[in-house]
Amino acid sequence: MENPQISLTIRNVSKTYANGVHALSNVTLDIPRGMYGLLGPNGAGKSTLMRTLATLQEPDEGSIHLGDIDVVRQKEEVRQTLGYLPQEFGVYPKVSAEEMLDYFAVLKGITQRASRKEVTESLLKQTNLWDKRKQKLGGFSGGMKQRFGVAVALLGNPKLLIVDEPTAGLDPAERVRFLNLLSEVGENSVVLLSTHIVEDVSELCTNMAIINKGQILLQANTQQAVAELEGRIWRKLTDKSNLPALEQEHQVISAKLLSGRTMVHIYSEENPGNGFDLALPDLEDVYFSTMTGNYGQPQKVKEEVQL
């Protein structure tokens, strides 16, 4: 039976690579059971943190605990209760899904044939791959490969599931199926979803953090983070040529092309006038206002990031 109180505690974790890159700087996070989103641009330090949590590398400083397990010092114990789906994972193209999952089950320590058959059948059904179980993995679509990766990661009922950039390259239908699957898993485990796609976190995760240049800029309840911006996000549809002037006058947090024109979102405590309308904020506004230094008390954060 899963421990409903299981959580992941990360304290002051830092990692600097041999080339001098500060991949993680004093990262502290409290990650409860359920879906947790780690959001940030490419190169922000997400994969370094994921690999550290997955016991593939050690931090230079800091501590990590999964419940009572010391992740840094008790690697074998962590691996027994860990599921990890990296950004890129290889499959043997000429082996069927059923055979490959059976093989991974042996590696996971499920040695009894009857138990393995039961587990592999259950996981292939859970990931909606049962009808494709005889098909060779080389013929799988991107979404099917990702769902097979989750099946492998779920062997042994992990208490911690780490998923790194899972929906990149998936078509919309495959993405929905995949996210629904992760959501089910999050009912009993800590599921850490690392992504640069805001919608993935917005649709799935109760709690989240934003990371950039190895530092945590924001840690919050997803809905509360959006609510904090109510009355502070304003928008205006304009020509792209007007953007430099608007950037001089206002705190522009995002500018997106819309029907040949540019939709500008700005952060302002008061009505900025100048043709701007009040916008209903969403997680994208939280992300961009955090990254541009307008959310909460971010000017100090922004200065620290640039050190």
Query: What CATH code is carried by the domain that includes residue 148?
Result: 3.40.50.300
Whether residues 72 and 155 share a domain: the answer is yes
Based on the fold, state whether residues 171 and 295 are members of the same structural domain.
Answer: no
Distance CA 217, CA 91 (A): 36
Domain that holds residue 292: 229-306
From the list 159, 166, 153, the residue with the least C-alpha distance to 83 is 153
Last residue of a domain, one of 177, 208, 225: 225
Indicate if the pLDDT at residue 88 is higher than 80: no
Is residue 221 located within the same domain as residue 233?
no
pLDDT at 142: 84
Angle at 64 between CA 82 and CA 210, to 5 degrees: 90
Contact between 45 and 211 under an 8 Å Cβ cutoff? The reply is yes
Q: Are residues 204 and 71 in the same domain?
A: yes
81 and 218 belong to one structural domain: yes
Does residue 305 surpass a pLDDT of 90? no
Boundary (domain end) residue, out of 208, 225, 242: 225
Query: Does residue 150 share a domain with residue 51?
Result: yes
Lowest mean pLDDT among 166-180, 181-195, 236-250, 259-273: 166-180
In terms of domains, do 209 and 234 share one?
no
Residue where a domain stops, chosen among 177, 198, 225:
225
Strand ordering across the sheet containing 61-66: 22-31, 8-16, 61-66, 69-70
Residues 30 and 158 in one domain: yes
Q: Is residue 194 included in any domain, yes or no?
A: yes
Q: Specify the DSSP element, H or E, that contains 245.
A: helix 243-249
The reply to whether 252 and 197 lie within a common domain is: no
3-state secondary structure of 77: helix
- pTM for this entry: 0.86
Q: Name the residue with tokens 């593939």.
A: 56
- What tens digit of pLDDT does each residue of 99-108 get? 999 998 998 8
Number of domains composing the chain: 2
For residues 158 and 68, membership in a common domain is answered with yes
**Whether residue 173 sits in one domain with residue 250:** no
Give the span between the Cα atoms of 202 and 112, in whole angstroms: 41
Same domain, 144 and 80: yes
Q: Which of 171, 221, 162, 222 is nearest to 193 (CA)?
A: 162
Give yes or no for residue 304 having a pLDDT over 50: no
User: pLDDT tens digits, residue range 235-255?
Assistant: 999 999 999 999 999 999 999
User: Which contacts (CB < 8 Å, 24+ apart) does range 85-91 have?
Assistant: 85/146, 85/149, 85/150, 85/152, 85/153, 85/161, 85/162, 85/163, 85/164, 85/166, 86/50, 86/54, 86/164, 87/47, 87/164, 87/165, 87/168, 89/149, 91/137, 91/138, 91/140, 91/145, 91/148
